[in-house]
């Protein structure tokens, strides 16, 4: 059959390809090219996103070096100290500490400027502020040693301003006489005798003398501290004394002799972090007693009040909360 010819139609053959005019084909090609470019752009963005995104096994890994930032002077010290402080705060436990300060005549020596006494009061204030910052649930008491007696300077308190205020008056703490380790430790031990087992009991002694004037056998006092699980640490300003070293070794505390003002401050601030819990097992081995696991802590009663005794008649309790 011959091909049909018409003015309005092109000559069409069944074996030939259809020819499409350029004015129709050009927009179609541009549209297809645009879609290809958009697809390539999305692929590039997806690839870049996957490149920046960490793997699943990297999600749980903390890059500590990325959290360190330089300060205005270009130093990394402030960032490092902040990271260490955060780690110490996670170890917070309930602590009770008695700070024993030597107020004997030996504290008037000027081998540490301005004097041993003034420098000790300055470091004691800094120690108290930093100690409460890292141990917000703890309490501190202050005891002085002078005139052969132990003197209670500040009651056990959890308010840092109140504790610092107790040693703010320099003239009331003027050094004189000889110190007495036994009297001061006995006073500190009596103030912690009522504490529960879930809290630590610690004594820190800032000792500047080479003698101690004791009314009895100080080794009996030391044995009582070991029995009550009281940890004694000593920072000496003159030289090492055998009794001071023995107290620290038997109770699991720390001992050090300050060589200069900076070393004195370092020794004091080393006592701020909470003590290791395994100190109880070491303590048992040091005293010859059989080592055992740490005793279970007493539960702290919180919430609604408990009726005591149980056989008493029911009563009405009304609790009003300030809104």
Quick: pLDDT tens for 17-64.
455 555 555 555 655 555 556 566 666 665 555 555 555 555 555 566
pLDDT along the chain (323 residues), means of 10: 50 48 55 58 59 54 63 75 63 83 95 93 96 92 95 93 94 94 95 82 95 94 94 95 95 95 95 70 46 47 60 65 52
Return the pLDDT at 296: 47
Return the pLDDT at 307: 60
Dist. CA 71–CA 257, nearest whole Å: 34
In degrees and rounded to multiples of 5, residue 105 shows phi and psi of: -65, -25
Return the pLDDT at 193: 82
Dist. CA 139–CA 128, nearest whole Å: 10
Q: How would you write 149-193 as a 3-class SS string?
A: EEEEEEEEECCHHHHHHHCCCCHHHCCCCCCCHHHHHHHHHHHCC
Is the distance from CB of 156 to CB of 140 less than 8 angstroms?
Answer: yes
Return the pLDDT at 312: 65
Dist. CA 8–CA 146, nearest whole Å: 125
Return the pLDDT at 24: 52
Rounded to two decimals, the pTM is 0.63
Half-sphere exposure of 205 (CA within 13 A, CB side): 35
- Work out whether strand 230-236 and strand 255-257 pair parallel, antiparallel, or are unpaired: parallel
């Amino acid at each position: 059959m011959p091909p049909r010819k018409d003015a309005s139609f092109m000559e069409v053959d069944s074996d030939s390809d259809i020819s499409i005019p350029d004015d129709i084909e050009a927009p179609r090609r541009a549209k297809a090219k645009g879609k290809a470019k958009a697809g390539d752009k999305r692929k590039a963005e997806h690839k870049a996103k996957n490149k920046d995104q960490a793997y699943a096994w990297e999600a749980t890994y903390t890059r500590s070096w990325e959290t360190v930032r330089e300060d205005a002077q270009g130093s990394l010290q402030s960032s490092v100290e902040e990271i260490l402080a955060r780690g110490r705060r996670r170890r917070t436990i309930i602590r009770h500490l008695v700070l024993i300060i030597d107020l004997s005549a030996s504290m008037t020596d000027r081998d540490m400027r301005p004097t041993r006494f003034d420098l000790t009061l300055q470091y004691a204030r800094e120690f108290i502020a930093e100690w409460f910052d890292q141990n917000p649930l703890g309490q501190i008491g202050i005891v002085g040693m002078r005139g052969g007696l132990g003197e209670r300077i500040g009651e056990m308190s959890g308010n840092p301003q109140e504790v610092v205020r107790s040693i703010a008056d320099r003239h009331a703490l003027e050094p004189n006489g000889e110190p007495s380790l036994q009297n001061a430790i006995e006073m500190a031990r009596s103030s912690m005798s009522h504490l529960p087992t879930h809290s630590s009991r610690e004594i820190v002694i800032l000792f500047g003398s080479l003698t101690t004037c004791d009314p009895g056998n100080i080794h009996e006092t030391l044995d009582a501290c070991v029995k009550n699980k009281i940890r004694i640490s000593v920072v000496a300003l003159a030289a090492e004394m055998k009794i001071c070293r023995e107290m620290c070794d038997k109770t699991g505390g720390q001992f050090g002799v300050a060589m200069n003002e900076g070393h004195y401050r370092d020794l004091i601030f080393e006592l701020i972090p909470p003590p290791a819990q395994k100190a109880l097992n070491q303590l048992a081995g040091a005293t010859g007693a059989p080592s055992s696991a740490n005793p279970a802590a007493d539960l702290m009663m919180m919430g609604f009040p408990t009726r005591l005794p149980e056989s008493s008649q029911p009563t009405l309790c009304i609790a009003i909360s300030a809104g």
